[in-house]
Amino acid sequence: MTGRICILVAALVGASLLVGDAGVGLADPLILWQIRLPRTVLAAMAGGALALSGAALQGALRNRLADPGLLGIGGTAALAAVVAYYWGIGARFALATPLAGLLGGGLGAAILLGFAGRAPTGTALIVAGIGLSAIASALLALALTLAPNPFALAEITQWLMGSVENRTLADAALAAPLIVAGAAVLLSVGRGLDALALDEATAASLGLPVGRTLRRVAIGSAVAVGAVAACAGGIGFVGLIVPNLMRPLVGERPSALLAPSLAAGAALLLAADIAARIAPLWLPLNESPRLGILTALVGAPFLIVLSRRSQP
Amino acid sequence: MRTVLLRLVPLAAPIVLSAALAQFPAGAASRVVSLNLCTDELLVQLAPERIAALTYLARDPALSVVAVEAPRFPAVRPSAEAVLALNPDLVLAAPWGARAALAVVEARGVPVLRVDLPADFAGIRAQTRRLAAALGVGERGEALLAAMDARLAAAATRRPAAPPRALIWEPRGYTAGATSLGQAVLEAAGFANAAPGGQRRGLESLLADPPDLLVVPSRPAFPSLATDLLDHPALHGLPRVEIPPALTLCPGPWTAAAVSLLAR
């Protein structure tokens, strides 16, 4: 399954290099390598990281509504990145913005897992996550309103809805190691997640480290999602949709879901970014739609259907 | 810009202006409140001794050409209460904006002068003269315009026969259309506008049809995604001139300094 999705990803990477506001087709090498390549790399990495984090969180929390965006991890990461960027810390050393995103994501995950430890029911956790994410987006908008910069207000959409437009190879090079590191941690927790799927008491009685698995999911998600949010803003719903789409294809076992979700997430966000670039070429749009708009338009109805189905 | 103004304000500005002028013989306005950055800048340069208050924007060095002088004067937000508390005898405003506040101010009998914001140098001359006359400082207006015309004349002597194509590229990809102040600046400096349609240009479409010269705002003191775009490595091969945005944000005699920077 993962192999077949990887072929799709490869095809979408090719398509992504052939589309842009300079038109559809093979572009000037400068446009190809300096403009289309960075956004293609970032879209693939961001989609993969978000979906993988969603799959791991759904396994760890035993709740198929879990998603780094919905749970507020993406929001707290974007908030921290915004503060570092607009108050000039990012200008002093380039790693500051992604590192801040990582810290913000870590804080969000810590708050959430702290809450999950005490209130294990799925609904309560999702509600807490929605609360956390609402606080994070409100504080993000407030921070940009107060930012010493006349354009900051217009840039709220970029941070809340997400975009990989106009990113440079340097941006991609900065985010890549963090995203890869976070993804590696998340890919390593499969066995722990399978044990957790039984339930925490059974897993613990089998001698499996429940706490360590939860912590690794939290750290991996914070690093991967934090780096994504710092360079591409808050892209929602990818982590929710992809594992749920993969489950009928690869089965319920959490460990079997991780790699296919990574690949399918990359494919989904590449497709969304291609659509975002094609839309202004064919429709009377003044601006390319933000990635988060497209993923929300697909993901939110999916969430509604899913929440109906999971009612007792 | 101009078409937008006319659509928003069906009453053309000069009519309002002449009515206010009739009420105000030269030299009578002594407590003047300005509620628009563009009138702030003209007021500071024409009659600083008459100022009751300016906008807060006038103090922002990224936007205002009088940021150094502005903190010496009180600042006011465009609320009717705040304006009336200053007991002004003339309020300067743009043809749009602060409509509710201005309606209250006018109802209390305070004359409001709505100054049109022109998009070419002929319009700047007329606008400066109208405001200078309203403030009773006609000779200061002429002095400002003489300095402006000297700059424009110096730029005109260096004008090449075949004008190179220049593109004004603002943050977020905005360009200057055929009826904009930007095009007037480009033409005065001897360039042809590479985007007469005023359409937005993304990074890719810019590089697919690169202009001879890229005209971008000078780097602001704050970080923003919009201005980061101007540093994209794919743009490094294009010749560029940086213009302080305050010079062209509001039309005025200072706009000629942008022409000098381009013609150099």
Cα(B170)–Cα(B191) distance, rounded to whole angstroms? 17
Q: Please name the helix (run of DSSP H) or strand (run of DSSP E) that holds residue B150, with its range, or none.
A: helix B138-157
Residues in contact with B201: Cβ distance below 8 Å, sequence separation at least 6, in sequence order? B167, B169, B173, B175, B195
Chain A residues within 8 A of B233 when measuring between CB atoms: 34, 168-170
* Contact residues on chain B for A36, CB-CB shorter than 8 A: 204
Could you state, in order of their start, the residue ranges of all structural domains in chain B? 2-117, 157-263
Domain ranges of chain A: 43-306
Q: For residues B74 and A26, which has the higher predicted lDDT (pLDDT)? A: B74
More confident residue, B18 or A221: A221
Q: Assess B219–A contact: CB distance below 8 Å, yes or no.
A: no
CB–CB of A22 and B222 under 8 A?
A: no
Amino acid at A265: G
**C-alpha pair distances (Å), A123 with each of A56, A76, A312, B106:** 18, 20, 12, 57
d(C-alpha A16, C-alpha A10), whole Å: 10
pLDDT band at residue B111, thresholds of 50, 70 and 90?
Answer: very high
Contact B246, A173 (CB under 8 A): no
B-chain residues within 8 Å CB-CB of A149? 220, 222-224
Q: Is the pLDDT of residue B72 over 90?
A: yes
Sign of the CA dihedral A183, A184, A187, A188?
A: negative
- What pLDDT does residue B6 have? 34
For chain A, positions 148-187, list CB contacts with chain B under 8 A: 148-152, 154-155, 158, 165-166, 168-170
A151 and B225 within 8 Å at the Cβ level: the answer is yes
Q: How far apart are CA B140 and CA A19, in angstroms?
A: 56
Which of B172, B220, B234 faces A34 most closely, judged by CB atoms? Answer: B234
Write the residue in B60, B203, B237 that is nearest to A166 by C-beta. Answer: B203
- CATH of region A43-306: 1.10.3470.10
- Considering only CB atoms, B172 lies closest to which of A85, A154, A168, namely A154
- Closest Cα in chain A to B207: A31
pLDDT band per the 50, 70, 90 thresholds, residue B67: very high
Is A27 near chain B, with CB under 8 Å?
A: yes
Element (H, E) at B243: strand B240-243
The percentage of residues in chain B with a pLDDT greater than 90, rounded to a whole number, is 60
| Residue B163 in contact with partner chain A when CB distance is under 8 A | no
B221 phi, psi to nearest 5 deg: -80, 0
pTM: 0.80
* Residues of chain A with C-beta less than 8 angstroms from the C-beta of B222: 86, 88, 147-149
Least confident of A208-222, B25-39, B102-116: B25-39
Query: By the 8 A CB rule, do B191 and B213 touch?
Result: yes
Mapped onto helix, strand or coil, the DSSP state of residue B165 is strand
Superfamily name and number for B157-263: Nitrogenase molybdenum iron protein domain (3.40.50.1980)
| CATH architecture classification, B2-117 | 3-Layer(aba) Sandwich (3.40)
pLDDT digit string (tens) for A120-174? 566 777 788 889 999 999 999 898 888 877 777 778 888 888 889 888 999 899 9
Cβ distance A151 to B203 less than 8 Å, yes or no, reads no
Nearest-Cα residue of chain B relative to residue A32:
B204
